[in-house]
């Protein structure tokens, strides 16, 4: 089984490993990371559950598993096999991709190769470029997986909670210091773009290969209280200014574990074993 995508998909992967590994004795399991690939092995079952870092699914200049905080993000069109060759042979794949497409107003799409001396780059909307990636993913599944023996899942966008004004909070706040879910059943944050959800729906409606959709966006959008917030590993020491105002360094994108993403895996379990 393999999870392919960005750090939100890594969160779901880690959630699944946490749920499973406690049932397996120490000598019968291992976990190792090789660059973009993390492999959990359940030896007695001859099974692996793996995570492969590919935040855009397509080849990009952000593919280094460690150094990927680049400001000028470029994605190469038609490059699904760059990473896809590493996914071959998986019996179950869980894809995601979203957040990295919407960080700027436009996406830069490379038409040639990253090695070209003069690079041909066009700018496209997040929606247009996202559609290219989704169609590439569906085509890859069609060409590389036997859907009578394997399963493919796609997880929808994970919501963030960067602006508390959206749920009736203070104008400056975010998820920091939030301890209860949003109770408005119609709540939908601006970070979860409906236009992207529409692209997902359109691509899957046209797809001839069966891809099971995990639509976790709405149920997660209530959970302003479930982010890692200030309780995560800091890569750089915090400044006195940050310490005086913790909201400035709160992470309102990723999720605490145990937590919300265990629910995503319960949905995955239900759809995997009771299709």
Ligand X SMILES: *[C@@H]1O[C@H](CO)[C@@H](O)[C@H](O)[C@H]1NC(C)=O
Residues carrying an active site annotation: 7, 251, 254
- Each residue 132-171 as x (binds ligand X by CB under 6 A) or -, in order, gives ----------------------------------------
Please report, as residue ranges, which positions from 108 to 127 form the binding site for ligand X (by CB under 6 A). none
Closer residue to ligand X, CB minimum distance, 16 or 175? 175
Q: Kindly indicate which of the ranges 70-78, 101-109, 195-203, 252-260 contains the residues binding ligand X, using the contact rule CB under 6 A.
A: 195-203
Closer residue to ligand X, CB minimum distance, 89 or 275? 89
Is residue 87 a contact partner of residue 54, using CB atoms and an 8 Å limit?
no
17-41: string of b/e by CB count within 10 Å (b at 16+)?
A: bebebeeeeeeebeeeeeebebebb
Q: How far is the CB of 47 from ligand X (least distance, A)?
A: 8
Please report, as residue ranges, which positions from 58 to 97 form the binding site for ligand X (by CB under 6 A). none
Q: How far is the CB of 217 from ligand X (least distance, A)?
A: 6
Q: How far is the CB of 171 from ligand X (least distance, A)?
A: 14
CA gap 118, 70 in Å, rounded? 20
Please report, as residue ranges, which positions from 7 to 36 form the binding site for ligand X (by CB under 6 A). none
Closer residue to ligand X, CB minimum distance, 36 or 177? 177
Q: Dihedral angle at the C-alpha atoms of 179, 183, 185, 191, nearest 10 degrees?
A: -40
CA gap 177, 116 in Å, rounded? 48
Which residue(s) pair with 212 in the sheet?
153
Is residue 103 a contact partner of residue 73, using CB atoms and an 8 Å limit?
yes
Q: Kindly indicate which of the ranges 7-15, 67-75, 197-205, 233-241 contains the residues binding ligand X, using the contact rule CB under 6 A.
A: 197-205
Of 22, 66, 97, which Cα lies nearest the Cα of 257?
Answer: 22
CB atoms within 10 A of CB 215: 15
Of 22, 46, 105, 115, which lies in the binding site for ligand X, with binding defined by CB under 6 A?
46
CA gap 65, 252 in Å, rounded? 21
Q: CA 150 from chain center: how many Å?
A: 21
Please report, as residue ranges, which positions from 210 to 269 form the binding site for ligand X (by CB under 6 A). 215, 217-218
Closer residue to ligand X, CB minimum distance, 41 or 108? 41
Binding residues for ligand X, per CB under 6 A? 46, 177, 197, 200-201, 215, 217-218
């Amino acid at each position: 089984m393999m999870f392919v995508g960005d750090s939100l998909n890594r969160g779901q992967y880690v959630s699944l490993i946490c749920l499973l590994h406690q049932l397996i004795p120490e000598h019968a399991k291992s976990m190792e990371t090789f660059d973009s690939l993390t492999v959990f092995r359940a030896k007695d079952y001859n099974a692996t559950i793996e995570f492969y870092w590919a935040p855009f699914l397509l080849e990009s200049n952000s593919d280094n598993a460690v150094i990927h905080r680049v400001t000028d993000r470029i994605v190469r069109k038609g490059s699904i096999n760059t990473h896809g060759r590493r996914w071959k042979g998986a019996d179950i794949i869980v894809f995601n991709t979203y957040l990295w497409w919407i960080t700027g107003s436009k996406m830069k799409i490379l038409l040639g190769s990253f090695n070209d001396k003069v690079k041909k780059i066009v700018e496209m909307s997040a929606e247009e470029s996202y559609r290219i990636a989704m169609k590439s993913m569906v085509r890859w599944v069609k060409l590389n997986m036997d859907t009578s023996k394997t399963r493919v899942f796609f997880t929808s966008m994970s919501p963030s909670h960067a602006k508390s004004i959206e749920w009736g909070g203070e104008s400056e706040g975010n998820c920091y210091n939030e301890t209860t879910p949003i109770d408005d059943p119609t709540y939908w944050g601006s970070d979860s773009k409906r236009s992207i959800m529409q692209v997902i729906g359109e691509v899957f409606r046209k797809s001839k290969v069966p891809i099971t959709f995990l639509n976790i966006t709405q149920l997660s959008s209530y959970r302003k209280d479930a982010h890692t917030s200030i309780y995560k590993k800091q890569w750089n020491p915090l400044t006195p200014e940050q310490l005086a105002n913790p909201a400035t360094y709160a992470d309102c994108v990723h999720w605490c574990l145990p937590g919300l993403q265990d629910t995503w895996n319960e949905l995955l379990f239900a759809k995997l074993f009771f299709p």
